[in-house]
Structure 1
Amino acid sequence: MQKRLVGATLGIAALALATTAAAQFKPDELIQYRQAGYLFMSWNMGKIKVNLDRDYNEAQVADAANAIAAIANSGMGALFVPGTEHDIGEVKTHVKPAFFENPDDVRELAMDFNQKANELAKVAQNGDPNAVGAAFGEVGKACKACHDKYRAD
Structure 2
Amino acid sequence: VLAHEMGHVYNGDMFTTTVLAGLMNTFVYFISRFIYRQVAERNEALGFGVYIALQIVLSVLAMIPISWWSRRREFAADRFAANTVGKEHMISALEGIDRWVQRTQFEYSSQDALSTMKISGKSHSFMQIFATHPPIEARVNALRQL
Superposition TM-score, scaled by structure 1 size: 0.35
Superposition TM-score, scaled by structure 2 size: 0.37
Kindly name which structure, 1 or 2, has the bigger radius of gyration based on alpha carbons: 2
Q: Which has the higher helix share?
A: 2
